[in-house]
Structure formats: C-alpha cells, structure tokens
Structure 1
Amino acid sequence: MRQKQPVVLAAPSVLSVVLGVVLGVFTPLLVPQAAMAAPGNPAGGAYVPAEARAVTTSRPDRVVGNGTPASCTSRAVVAAVAKGGVITFNCGPRPVVIRMTATAKVRNTSARVVLDGGGKVTLSGMGQRRILYMNTCDKSLVWTTSHCDNQSRPQLVLQNLTFADGNATGEKLEGGGGAVFVRGGRVKVVNSTFIRNRCDSTGPDVGGAALRVLSQYRNLPVYVVRSTFGGAKGQGGVCSNGGAVSSIGVSWVILNSVMSYNKAIGRGANPARGGTPGGGSGGAIYTDGNRFTVRVAGSVIQNNTAREGGGAVFFVSNDMTGTLRIEKSRLRNNPSAGFETRGFPGIFFKGAGKPQVVASTLR
C-alpha cells in the first residue's frame, strides 16, 4: 500500500482554524506554537549530568528519508526502530509531521535505539494509535534474558522530537503511554515535546498520556531533560491518571522541563472507591510503587488538573520508603479537586517524611 506523504508544517490560515474547530476534524496542518517553540525551560539552570544529556548522532546507523518530505514515511520509521541503533532523519530543510499508520516497536535484541529528530520532526499518532512501544517482557519482541523485568537493554533515547496525538485508549495488554510506552531496559527523553496525547479515561492504575514507564533496570531513573509536556492551553495530555507521565516502581529525574495543561480525568482514585471506575490522580505526574524517588529541578509545572488527587504530582510509596524532592522549580495553579497533602499545593504525597522543597514556589 502506498504511504501517505508526511505533512510539511505551515502557518495555518484563519479559515483553516475556524473549520477545524467547527467541524471537529483532525487537521494535521494545524501545528501549534508549542510544538514549534524550543522545548523545556531554558531558564531552569539545573545541572544535567553526562548520562542525562543528548547523545551524539553524527554517525547514525540508519537515516529515515533521502532529503524530501515524501521519503519520510511511517513505514520507514517502523523499519528503522525495529532494526535499532542510532536513527536520524533527512526529510528536507523544513519541519515535517510524519503520520504514523502503525506503532513503531523496539526489538529487544537491540542494544540501543536512539531517535533524533533534529528539532524538525513530529511523529503523529493521528489520534488513532500509540506512537512508540518498547517492552522487554513482550515475547513477540523476543525475550533476551530470564529476568525481563530487570535487564539493562535495550536503552532507548528520544531526543529533539515532537510526539503528537498519540492515543493508547483501549490497549488491553499494557495500558497507558498514549505516545510512548516503555517496560524494562532504560529510557531517557531530551529536548522533546509531547502534545495532545491520550490514554484511557478511567481506571485506577492506567496512566501517562505522553509517557508510561515500568520496570527500569536496577531502578535507575528515567531522565527527562529540557522537554515540554503540553505547554499551551489545549495542547496537554489527557488520561485517567498522569496527564503527562506515569509509572509504577520507577524513579524519575526531571530537569529544566515544562509540564502544563495536562489533565487526569478518571474518577474514584486508587484503589477505586465503590461504584467508580477509579483514577483521576496526578494531573502531570503519577507515580506509585515501593522504593522509588522523584526529583524535579529547574522545572515549571503549572495549570495541570486532577479530578481526584495531586493536580501537579501524585506520589504514593506503598512501603513508605520513597522520596520526592523539588528544587528551583515553580509549581502553581495545579488544582486537586479531591485531595492533596496539606501545605503542599498541587501535591499528594505518601512516602518517607515530607516532600523536600528547596528554593521553589508552590501555590
């Protein structure tokens, strides 16, 4: 079947905006300013350790495209991700949207998969499908160890990309992760933007409209560096829990990033109250499990909402060993419609001691 050409980004006309709103149709030509702007919080100032930085891609193993927008197809992306290695794009001089007609899946035989969009590539799920999937415990992607939930590879790096309109609604095997789902190995996100992603609207433990992560190797953290989740009204992620990111038993380090206008829309919390489907916590960040940590530094988390608890951050360490630390960050206007921890606006915290808030604003 012939692949549809990717969409070259162009400034939308007033007429196209009006038609899109009135008709309610998916209009990939309408690319919001949030997707065009540099991602993250450039004024954040948090130190980024070497292991959290973008990787060098000057000598890629694979290049998607031959210099034209038409050569950058969903099929080419899927094939490159399956083969692994360092992947870059050559789609011409202008930004492009590649409409994903299938989910790109990482094979567990890959030691490393690096996707680098060069700041010009948007991968779009078109509101119909998840964009990227990695799962070391998925037999269809090959089991490579006897301990699939705790292995060092594959290592997935997503950098200089935009993930738009991913949708994991209805995914039964592994829920959540509207744009990206990861279980096992390692993952980090650098200089990237996530807009308008979705996952199931109800459920006590499903979440991560943009990114859902489980079982990271030796509980080493997921790094999110200078990236944006939402960024403008109408561009945020929407899910039962974790309008931006969600995890169970996974540690996070979020540096110089922005999370705004994301929504947790489930109802009934976790465990679900009687007569409810559950969910509704963590407008931006939803974390659960036992021993794990979350550190937010140099970041802005604002204008997120939770129908239940934690308009900005929901953090539950079941064995009370986990810690939450917020440094040089601004958390503001993150309403929790149901519950939050007194003295920490926008946060519900159950863990070791109290959240550590250093040189930060919470309101």
Structure 2
Amino acid sequence: MGTAPRIAIDAMGGDTGPDVMLAGAALALARRDDLRFLLFGDEAAVRPVLDRHDSLARVSEIVHCPDVISGDDRPSQAIRRAKTTSMGRAIAAVKEGDAQAAVSGGNTGALMAMAKLALRTMPGIHRPALAALLPTLGDNDVVMLDLGANPDCATDNLVQFAVMGAAYARVVLELERPRVQLLNIGTEELKGTDELKAAAAILRASDHLHMRFEGFVEGDKLSRGDVDVIVTDGFSGNIALKSLEGTARFVTDLLRRAFTSSVRSKIGFLISRPATELLRHHLDPNNHNGAVFLGLNGLVVKSHGSATDKGVANAIRVAARMVREDITRKITEDLANVSARAAEGEAA
C-alpha cells in the first residue's frame, strides 16, 4: 500500500508519440506526486519533450531505444524485435523488476504477444484477459472482460476471468463484493453454451469469494449499471465493445447534426448545453482509458492510441492503483479459494 509506483512508459506508443504520452505522465504526476517513471524511446525525440515538463523530468529516467513497433507490425514481427523497441523494453522492465507496471498506447496485438511471452501467466491462470472500464447509467463504471485476447474460451477460462475481473473491480471501483454476471443470449439458466452454463454452476457455488455472482446478463443491459463485472469470451466481448463505442459515436454525431440543422436548433443547443456537455463527458473515452492485461506475472496497461493527455493520465492512474493495491496477490488468493472449494467438492 505504501509503494511509490515506478511506471515504465512506452513513450513512442500512441498516435502522437512522446508529446501526448509525456504530457499524460506529467498530468498523472500532478495528481499524485509519488509516481516515478522510466521513459522508453528514441532519446532525441523524448528529451526535448521531457525538458518542457520540469516536475516530470525530476522523477523520470530516459532509456534510449532505437526501434519502434508500428501499428502495422504483426505480433510475430514485434516479438523478434522486443529487445530493441520501446514497447518491448518497457515490458522487460516489469519482468526484471525495474518497474512495477508498463503503459503503452501502441499496437494492441504486439503488446499482448510480447507481454505474454515475457511475463507468462500467473500460476492457476491458463490465459490472460483484456479488461476495461465502460460507462454506465449507474453509480460506477462496469468492468468487462475479455475484450479480444481469447476468441474461444473453455469453462475454466470464464471462471478465471470472473475471479480476475472481480479483483480488478475491488481495486478500481472500490467495491468489497462486486456483482458479477456472464454475458449470454438470455437470463434463463438453460440458455447459452455448455461452457457458460458450467461456468455459472461453478461461480454459484463460490459464495466464499469476494464477489456476488448474479447469473447471466443480456447485451442490452450492459450499460444499465446493474452489474459491476461482465464476463465473456474475447470474440463476443470485442463485438460488444465495438458496438458500444459505435453507438456512443452515433448518438453524439446525431445530436451534433440535429443541433446544427437550423437556427431554432442552434438556439435549442445553447439552452440544453449543460446537459449535452454532461453527455459528452460521460461518453468521452479518455475518462475510461486504460485496458488491462489481467493474469500475467506483471502489470501491463493498454492506452488508446488516440488518447489525449487526460486519457494517458487515466491509464497511468489505473496502473499505479493496481500496484498500490497489489492486485496480483488478490487474484492469487481468490484462485486458491476456488481450487480449494473444487477439491472439497470432489472429495465429498
């Protein structure tokens, strides 16, 4: 809890490189001054930007990396260049203990491939999962996983995702016993695949965990705020995520078109501006930026490539909070409880 997190930043990641990544780090530092940073990237590009942020420069060290992973690089290509790229070196810093977490806005597939190879999965975890916070109408955001790392999932994968998602919700949402549900085509117990029904049975029997399993949730209820953790396979999760993002853009674009269609509409916009600003803030992806690879022997956070400095700062905040709250220990303890309960059931 008292650890001053040291965060490895892939300074060359993201659409705009060092400018936004370092501005985000500076903003995160202004909000919480116990942060420390390792900045990985081309020193000729990173140094001039760092010199514009005096406070950040005092708590940061630049590690020169001559190579950068592009958005077009395949994961197999990225792995071969891990030792020379800013992304690969940032992950290696976590593996070697020089940093407690890594943040990158670069190529998602490359980041996942290199993180899995370098850090490996935690004992008891078969596959890592990509988790993120999504906005809701409730009092807090909802954690959703997996969002694309594992298109096909077995029963034990879904159970492990539930455990990891609940631990993450306990940290970032400050919930003692998060409400957990499995994404399904209906809420009835007989609906869904065999894997979903088997996972539900295991989670219903796991009332000793720090979660409340509440069955199934349908796709139209994802943003209602009635659940804290939504668990699914990466195929369905990625489609759901892109659908939610597309709907958010559709609504904002539709409002923009409606409010500029006539003089009367423009007057209506001025009158309703406080409400539309609230909507814009709620749907702004920068306020929810920071997808996490859960289940690895080290913490890696993926920032949106198009994130602003506010978005990058939020991703860093997520990483630092997981370090302070020791999320890896929480996941390990809950998995051990699941295994122990399963062993008791087999013995009985």
TM range (shorter): under 0.3
Higher helix proportion (structure 1 or 2): 2
Give TM-score scaled by structure 2 length: 0.27
Higher RCO (C-alpha under 8 Å, 6+ residues apart):
2
User: What's the TM-score, normalizing by structure 1?
Assistant: 0.26
